[in-house]
Structure 1
Amino acid sequence: MGKYKIFVDGSSGTTGLRIADRLAERDEFEILKISEADRKDVRARAAVINESDLSFLCLPDDAAREVMPLVREDVRILDTSTAHRTAPGWVYGLPELHGTRAALPAATRVAVPGCHATGFIAPVAPLVERGLIPKAAHLSVTSLTGYSGGGKKMIAEYEGERVNTALNAPRPYGLALHHKHLPEMTAVTGLDTAPNFVPIVADYYAGMETMIPLDLAALGITAQAVADTLADYYAGQAMIRVHPLGEGTDGGFLAANKLAGKDTLEIFCLPNPDGTQLQLISLFDNLGKGSSGTAVQCMNLMLGLEETKGLAR
């Protein structure tokens, strides 16, 4: 057969650029283009999408919602925005979750997970599914990201002439406990209540570290049971690795940019000395497994290609 026709709608943004760069290195694709004059014309964009076999939407939420009614049902869509992550009829594109990999080959509507959401869902969803964490649990999560997660404007702020000294320090945000990733974090894990979630942006380019403390005594579970459950759930996965209980840190430190440039995610299970508490940590690249890496992984599965082709491990 001929080459797959692929369109990246919004290829000038951080995620879109990263996806476009990945696709440019592969010869099985024909990349469709749109003129600068038509880039903000929804009907012109929809026309190019409808020419494609698969299109990535790397757009603001409203723009992603606006174009979808104009898209043919048989055109495969990977939406990297927040717009459709909990929408009916859309597959949540984290292939390692049970049932997702099998659903992707036939899917035409796939929502790529949010970066912070990925770091929370990857360790928590299996524990809720297996009954170690009850659906009624109230969890807390802190997630540290590099400034590339804020897009082109934030990158320019950090990499330009520093007039704002606040950029020199880590900056928690979403301080009112309201963040656009919360609906998917709740729905996909199966929790009844959204977690208390505080994201932090810091002065480094890429990398994400998501930290979830568990009160093991209150949950009535052991640290070993958590580690064993996650290791079993993700056994054989190419892009997610679970470290043995208490192992994997660098002398007690864990740099948030350690996996920058990779498309993998690593989970750490770090107990306190008496085993009554556990820190669950997801470490990954916010631009890799947190966005464009997962998008490419989903594309490969949707098109029947090798799942990890074009991914960095």
Structure 2
Amino acid sequence: MNKPKVYIDGKEGTTGLQIYERLGAREDIDLLLIDEEKRKDVEERKKLLNAADLVFLCLPDAAAKEAVALIENDHTRVIDASTAHRTAKGWVYGFPEFYRYPGEVIGQAARVANPGCHATGFLSSTMPLVSLHILPKDYPLTCYSLTGYSGGGKKMIAEYESGEKGKDLYSPRIYGTNLRHKHLNEMRKISGLDQPPVFCPVVDDYYKGMATTIMLHNKYLLGQPTAKEIYHILMAYYAGQKLISVRYEEEGGMLPANALAGSDRLELVVCGHEEQTIVTALFDNLGKGASGAAVQNMNIMLGLDETTGLHLD
């Protein structure tokens, strides 16, 4: 049987490089590579896009849409890592743990939209609680999300790693202060909430890792569950999953945002008491928040074990 042909359009970007790192040594796929001098040549890209069985798009939104338009056959399947298609008709949202049988949804899809990093952290805690009718759809949710600077791409990485960076780069920086972050559309639509959360992203002086937290008043939830009961609900929801785990933090300890840097797993940490709860998703913004998730989706689309080639430490 022929190996599936896989092409990464935009391999030079942060997400593309991380996907390539996970695929480069694999012998179960045939990785198509573009000549470095032709990587911006539309005709050469078009040839590879149409030769591949599966394509990763690691491009800005407009370029991702243009790349899809270059595909002129009905066999090339696409995983788009940009924001362009996450709420678009005809595209499957690539969060396997949200489907009872991901092989029948993502596995059969021709077009898969890879989730955003902040959206991944938010949805991992919110989606189960909304779908189980524990969190009301009209709940006025708030969320903050800490991320390492690699999430900002090459320009931000260079800014932080410059020997002449300004003093403001040595402290956490709140951004998206217009409250219109590009992940909000998918956060609202995929979660099923009536309105997007008030969302506060924060970038800090470390390379990678995320801590995305939602905050809940338990008395407004169905059945008024305690924090410990919410932990058990999320444990049951994710039972048997290979890449998402749940734990309860009883001691009130600190949660480092880079705890899962280098891993493709995600851990939900539930904290609180009878009246209030916070749920924090710890994961790598380049792992389960981007490239690791994209490779997980590829594995499912190709009928392979979803963890093949991923970092599970």
Q: TM-score category by the smaller chain? A: over 0.9
Q: Which moved more, 1:213-222 or 1:227-236?
A: 213-222
Aligned in 2, Cα 1:152/1:119: closer, same or farther, shift over 3 Å? same
Deviations 1:76-128 (A, max 9, x none): 10100000000011110011002461312211100110000000001100100
Match of 1:153 among 149, 152, 155: 155
TM-score normalized by structure 2? 0.95
Aligned in 2, Cα 1:209/1:11: closer, same or farther, shift over 3 Å? same
Q: How does 1:8-27 map onto structure 2 within 5 Å?
A: 8-27=8-27
Is the contact between residue 129 and residue 135 of structure 2 (CA under 8 Å) also seen in structure 1? yes
Is the contact between residue 42 and residue 66 of structure 1 (CA under 8 Å) also seen in structure 2? no
Q: Which moved more, 1:168-177 or 1:24-33?
A: 24-33
SS of the residue aligned with 2:85? coil
Partner of 1:33: 33
Partner of 1:260: 261
What is the Cα-based RMSD across aligned positions, in Å?
1.4
Partner of 2:93: 92
Using the TM superposition, give the Cα deviation of residue 269 of structure 1 relative to its aligned residue in structure 2, in angstroms: 1.1
Partner of 2:242: 238
Partner of 2:70: 70
Mapped to 2, the partners of 1:88 and 1:168 lie a distance apart of 42
SS of the residue aligned with 1:141? strand
- Residue type at the aligned position of 2:254: F
Using the TM superposition, give the Cα deviation of residue 11 of structure 1 relative to its aligned residue in structure 2, in angstroms: 0.3
SS of the residue aligned with 2:165? coil
Partner of 1:222: 225
TM-score normalized by structure 1? 0.95
- Residue type at the aligned position of 2:225: T
Q: Which moved more, 1:71-80 or 1:53-62?
A: 71-80
SS of the residue aligned with 1:131? coil
- Residue type at the aligned position of 1:57: L
Mapped to 2, the partners of 1:131 and 1:104 lie a distance apart of 25
Mapped to 2, the partners of 1:100 and 1:13 lie a distance apart of 32
Is the contact between residue 49 and residue 70 of structure 2 (CA under 8 Å) also seen in structure 1? no
Is the contact between residue 266 and residue 282 of structure 2 (CA under 8 Å) also seen in structure 1? yes
SS of the residue aligned with 1:292? helix
SS of the residue aligned with 2:253? coil
SS of the residue aligned with 1:96? helix
Q: How does 1:1-313 map onto structure 2 within 5 Å?
A: 1-71=1-71, 72-99=73-100, 101=102, 102-220=104-222, 221-223=224-226, 224-244=228-248, 246-247=249-250, 252-272=253-273, 275-313=274-312
Using the TM superposition, give the Cα deviation of residue 39 of structure 1 relative to its aligned residue in structure 2, in angstroms: 2.1
Is the contact between residue 270 and residue 279 of structure 1 (CA under 8 Å) also seen in structure 2? yes
Consecutive unaligned residues of structure 1, counting only runs of 5 or more, are none
Mapped to 2, the partners of 1:98 and 1:19 lie a distance apart of 23
Task: Report the number of matched residues.
Answer: 308
Using the TM superposition, give the Cα deviation of residue 306 of structure 1 relative to its aligned residue in structure 2, in angstroms: 1.3
Using the TM superposition, give the Cα deviation of residue 70 of structure 1 relative to its aligned residue in structure 2, in angstroms: 2.1
Consecutive unaligned residues of structure 2, counting only runs of 5 or more, are none
Mapped to 1, the partners of 2:7 and 2:136 lie a distance apart of 42
Percent of paired sites with the same residue? 51
SS of the residue aligned with 1:243? strand
Using the TM superposition, give the Cα deviation of residue 31 of structure 1 relative to its aligned residue in structure 2, in angstroms: 1.4
Deviations 1:45-101 (A, max 9, x none): 122111001110000000001121221232110100000000011110011002461
Deviations 1:212-271 (A, max 9, x none): 100112335212332222111100000000113x34x7x610100110000000001101
